[in-house]
Copies of this chain bind each other. A is one copy, B any other.
Amino acid sequence: MEIRVEKIVVIGLGLIGGSFALDIKDKRSNAIVVGIDTNSEHVLKAKELGVIDKEGTQEDIQEADWVIVAVPVDKSMNVLVDVLNKINSTAIVFDVGSTKSQICEAVKNHQNRRNFIAAHPIAGTEFSGPQAALKGLFMERTNIICEVEKTAFVFQEKALELFKQIGMRIRYMDPISHDKHIAYMSHLSHISSFMLGKTVIEEEKNERDIFDMAGSGFESTVRLAKSSPAMWTPIFKQNKDHVIKSLSEYIANLNSFKELLEQEKYEEVFATLEETNRIKQILK
């Protein structure tokens, strides 16, 4: 009996693309994972680390069963259109970007729109590149799929099977709601963390040993300030309006808190902290 080999093309061999490659190789024994990246060092590294089986070509895209587009969101639109132009009629293509409106808009009238799934797997770390790829990264994480009705049902089914195989739970959402809520739930955290890091670096620039004082609290709050600027700048750009709105509300809350301290209203400080402790229940 002949086992049909499944060809997976991963475009963008960073943290997310690389982690998909590892999980797919782990869970689907008949899969061959080939990788494409504009950075040739990433391709070599991904091969060396066993993240991919070999380097991919344009021909591989034409023959692919799956194409995973995991490049920064500003590059993603062109790459996706190009991929959708090339694939065969039974291929399934999905992206993994942290913004969804512009992506969905860019492909909405494409003749192969039915082969595409607009996905946002909410998983990651502060690290980047193929060496950051982790097996099991998506386990028990949420994968948000936008405009699912525009994907052919047969491809929805197959994609869901893959996402469940690597441990993800699925949520459906329209792209505008996605971008609005993700500004608060993810993009704002990154800005808050980057600006915390900037503030502390500026203050302590002449204090060589002061970072010995960093506790696990500071490390956790500033962790996202290690994230990739090449990934995050285009996200902030694409989701500019929602990001600015969430950032304005965050700044307003910080200003109010500062005023409570300046006016020595410590009962209100206490009440504000206690009210916000609700996050304990919410995140459980």
Q: Is the beta-carbon distance between A258 and B248 smaller than 8 angstroms?
A: yes
Q: Is the beta-carbon distance between A254 and B251 smaller than 8 angstroms?
A: yes
Given contacts A266-B237, A283-B219, contact A254 B247 (CB under 8 A): yes
Q: CB within 8 Å of B: which residues of A?
A: 122-126, 141-142, 144, 169, 171, 181-182, 184-186, 188-204, 207, 209-227, 229-230, 232-233, 236-237, 240, 243-244, 246-251, 253-255, 257-258, 261-262, 264, 266, 269-270, 272-280, 282-283
A255 contact set on B, CB distance < 8 A: 251
Nearest residue in B to A229 (C-beta to C-beta)? B273
Given contacts A196-B188, A276-B194, contact A214 B283 (CB under 8 A): yes
A261 contact set on B, CB distance < 8 A: 236, 240, 243-244, 247
Minimum CB–CB distance from A3 to chain B (whole Å) comes to 36
Q: Is the beta-carbon distance between A274 and B229 smaller than 8 angstroms?
A: yes
Minimum CB–CB distance from A45 to chain B (whole Å) comes to 18
Majority-rule SS of A interface residues: helix
Given contacts A122-B215, A196-B188, A273-B194, contact A258 B251 (CB under 8 A): yes
Taking A171-B212, A198-B276, A247-B258 as known contacts, 15 extra A-B pairs with beta carbons closer than 8 A to each other, sorted by chain A number, are A122-B213, A125-B216, A184-B200, A200-B279, A202-B253, A203-B249, A220-B224, A225-B277, A225-B279, A229-B270, A229-B274, A230-B270, A236-B261, A247-B257, A250-B254
